[in-house]
A and B are shown apart, each in its own frame.
Chain A
Amino acid sequence: MAPLKKLFRGDWPARLLALAQILIGSVAVIGIATVVTLNTYLLLGFAAMQVLIVAGVVLFVVVAMLAQRGMVLEHFGPGETVIRQGDPGRNVYVIKSGTVEIVTTRPDGSMEVADRLGPGDHFGDVALLHHSLPQRFTVRTATPAQIFRISPATFVQLYSNLPEFREYLRQRKEPHLRQLERMK
């Protein structure tokens, strides 16, 4: 039950995607069993399961279209990575609930928690605004967390059209960044 719950967390596009994975994955498992054993009942089952492939593909297409939405609420368990140091910066995140840790990797490879952020805080904008710089830190959840993921296009539109928004960001400029810059 627990792994199933884990697969089915998140907003509903994520759940639909998990369903698509289960549908198509099970057809693939039965398919392998079928061609390896050439068992009659597996063969008939495999034939009947072809509709699941169609269902799964349709689900995927729906999800792929939804994922183009400007803002998505994502659900994370504790200890999960939201962004990874070194990845290209793409999205901006705003925390709805929970706590995340800003983790940096020191040159010797060891990890250090540089900061903690909570509801209302955001991260990811610096990497995005600097022409998709690689992320300079890893963000990891400390507790279960709900985080809005804002697409680059949506963010840039807000950023370039609303001077107040720009000002707000500058003031709230990710505090840990200043700290990181001091450390250099």
Chain B
Amino acid sequence: MFSEIWHQMQGVHGVYLQWGTALEWNILFTFVLCVLILVCIGLSLVLYRGRQTEGNALWLHLLGLCIFPLFLLPFANFTVFEYSKQERFCASCHASMDPYVADMTAPDGKSLAASHYQDRFAPGEECYACHANYGVHGTFTAKLLGLRDAWRELTGTYTVPIKMTLPFPNSLCLKCHNGARNFMKEDSHTDPGGVVARDILEDKTLCTDCHLPGHMIAGQPKGAMKAS
């Protein structure tokens, strides 16, 4: 853990981050709570052998089996949630995700992911910034799909090219671009009156219909730049 945290302090893109982000505190609390729980369980097994349901033992259990675990829940969830936002989390599944990381981080990349990466739009959390509805971060169904993906990575049973289960929704792009000057000044985005076009809001036209594809993976067809 400590080497990881040290590594993180060196920062992403060489930017120095100070110790003490929410994630790091949560990792620490998760660790401490897990240790406390194990200590309580261990103590109760030693001190109250065969009398686990007796009055005094129950006080120890109240800590180890109720209070600490209930505290652990939010910390653990936050740790998992925040850590898995990081690009290195997505990148840790080398076989399947590496082409996408490579596409995004290539200095001369032409895909949407690459041009965003060049803008340093979300340092360290690039994949999550666009794919905020994937896996751990998504709905319950998305979480199950994420676990399915993990299983497929582990067993090597996914198919290339990887396909989106659902089309990429415009809302994921609009959460950043809606209202932004560069976006609103473009007539093809707006209906008369200067509001975002209905078709775009309702996902009838997708951003990727006109703009660059999200990713350009070597050996996969959809390479050409579509807009301008």
In this complex, what residue of B is CB-closest to A30?
A: B34
User: Which A residues are CB-close (under 8 A) to B53?
Assistant: 10-11, 13-14, 17, 63, 66-67, 72
| Shortest CB distance B5–A (Å) | 9
CB distance from B33 to the nearest CB of A (A): 8
- Which of B69-77, B178-186, B187-195 is the interface stretch? B69-77
Contacts of B70 in A (CB 8 A): 53, 57
Chain B: minimal CB distance from A80 (Å): 5
B52 touches which of A18, A41, A53 (Cβ 8 Å): A18
| Chain B interface size range | 35 or more
Majority secondary structure of chain A interface residues (helix, strand, loop or mixed):
helix
Question: Known contacts being A35-B79, A40-B93, A149-B54, is A57 close to B65, with CB within 8 Å?
Answer: yes
In whole angstroms, how far apart are the Cα atoms of A180 and B147 in the complex? 66
Distance between Cα atoms of A25 and B136 in the complex (Å):
23
> Within residues 134 to 154 of chain B, which ones have a CB less than 8 A from any CB in chain A?
136, 146-147, 150, 154
Show the binding face of A for B, using Cβ within 8 Å: 7, 9-11, 13-14, 17-18, 20-21, 24-25, 27-29, 31-32, 34-38, 40-41, 43-44, 46-48, 50, 53-54, 56-57, 59-61, 63-64, 66-67, 72, 74-77, 80-82, 90-91, 149
- Report which B residues bind A (CB closer than 8 A): 1, 4, 27, 30-31, 33-35, 37-38, 41, 44-45, 49-55, 58, 61-62, 64-66, 69-70, 72-73, 76-77, 79-80, 83-84, 89, 92-93, 136, 146-147, 150, 154
A-B complex: 6 closest residue pairs judged by Cβ atoms? A31-B34, A28-B34, A60-B65, A28-B37, A40-B92, A47-B80
